[in-house]
Chains A and B, each alone.
Chain A
């Protein structure tokens, strides 16, 4: 069923009894041309673009829980293309362009809101770094505006500009940055992939990867064996376990990242604000909750819940930046499992096993990448070649030295 304003009107007149399920619930077939392990944002997007761009329809997405039950449903929903390094810059630029056409493409409202993103700076040196980053963004064809202190004050009057440690010198405004409704992105891709014939198989955990003579032949699952010519591993924080089924060790360590939401408030924060020096960023959801987060807990964890010292640190940073939020009550906090790479950049590549591909290592920045990640992973799986905008996301880059260290902090674990 195609969605439209007219359909909503008609359904409203008849008690909304005519809606049909957004996707089928098929049983797994014995044989597919390609199988995607992982029914999150990246996996569903990969399946969608395999069908749409490359005409593959005999494909399945295998999800051990329910669709969108992982990080796509537990992130802070920020969409931006403010990267600096060649290799990252063109990829996230491509992703933002896909975001801008996503709702029409998927026929689904993902509530993409380009409300503008502001990265604050607090010293002359940091201003220079952000001016340079803004120039790189403009060179890439994206948008950036360097705001001075008064320029920031005009649009964010409620910040503390005279904090002793971190006085606000200005900010880099990325007008096309913003947020989207995270669950809707998973649902939109799921529905659009299903409409193109992709089998979305839930409650189907992969328990083994079949390899014969160095070539993948299928997977073992809790719902039986499935043969497949190509297999894509798109499982974020669980990449280590799935890759181990194929005998691979990855440059990935899984860490927990916490996020928080307050009770619903009237509109108060109209942008996405990033306070990098305090490891704090915030936006307001359409429902009214202030959605904010900070840094990793900084030790390997699969617990999906965090530790109190980081809760305290994030709250302190929030109070430092905008003392007014002290009156808001925190409603919920949660943790997501981040697949951290040594240099903080992702991997979309072949593996040493023929026909087995990997899309992983999204660190704490996977949400905005969903469209381009799916686009490029689909391109790789269909053609066997890396897509030009993802050509540097190589699995072996730590061995070859072609690292993508966007933060400039190094290429060993626990630095990002």
Chain B
């Protein structure tokens, strides 16, 4: 599997660290109830099909990337940098 890093171009999967579902970008507010944090940290849609997850280009440019891909076919649909994305978009 290869990911096309927006800065470095197509790179081998081994250069990247997988961090999990891109729901991690939607961090709850600091005063959100415990249930919102439990949901954010643990519960997942876990789709069989198109999903978005976060990858870190550990052995490249050290960008955090949001990858849209298919969990059934392993097809990569898009790779975009999350630089500048607000992480304060979660449920309060």
Contact = CB atoms under 8 A, between A and B. Distances in A.
Interface of A: 238-241, 244, 249-254, 298-303, 307, 309, 342, 398-399, 411-414
Interface string B4-25: 0000000011100011110000
A301 B13 CA distance: 14
B46 A254 contact: yes
B39 A249 contact: yes
A300 B45 contact: no
B19 to A, nearest CB: 7
A240 B72 contact: no
B48 interface: yes
B80 interface: no
B1 to A, nearest CB: 5
B46 A253 contact: yes
Given A300-B51, A307-B1, A249 B45 contact: yes
A300 B1 contact: no
Given A240-B47, A307-B13, A300 B41 contact: no
B44 A253 contact: yes
Which interface residue of B39, B42, B43 has the most chain A CB atoms within 10 A? B42
A299 B18 contact: yes
B38 to A, nearest CB: 4
Given A249-B44, A249-B45, A250-B44, A300 B39 contact: no
A303 B21 contact: no
Given A240-B46, A250-B44, A251-B43, A398 B18 contact: no
Given A307-B13, A399-B34, A251 B42 contact: yes
Contact of B71 (A239, A250, A303, A412): A303
Contact of B35 (A241, A307, A399, A412): A399
A244 B19 CA distance: 23
A252 B46 contact: yes
Contacts of A302: 48, 71-72
Contacts of B47: 240
Per DSSP, are chain B's interface residues mostly helix, strand or loop, or mixed? Answer: mixed
Nearest to B38: A399
Contacts of B51: 300
A300 B71 contact: yes
Nearest to A413: B20
Interface in B31-58: 34-35, 38-39, 41-48, 51, 53
B13 A398 contact: no
Contacts of B19: 414
18 contacts: A240-B44, A241-B48, A249-B39, A251-B42, A300-B20, A300-B46, A302-B71, A303-B72, A309-B13, A399-B38, A399-B42, A412-B20, A412-B41, A413-B20, A413-B21, A413-B44, A414-B18, A414-B20
A383 to B, nearest CB: 27
Given A300-B21, A309-B13, A399-B38, A252 B72 contact: no
A244 B42 CA distance: 15
A399 B47 CA distance: 22
Given A309-B14, A398-B42, 17 more contacts: A241-B46, A249-B44, A250-B43, A251-B42, A253-B46, A254-B46, A300-B20, A300-B53, A303-B71, A307-B1, A309-B13, A398-B38, A398-B41, A399-B38, A411-B42, A412-B41, A413-B21
Given A303-B73, A398-B38, A399-B35, A298 B48 contact: no
Contacts of A241: 46, 48
Given A309-B14, A399-B38, A412-B41, A253 B20 contact: yes
Nearest to B34: A399
A240 B18 CA distance: 20
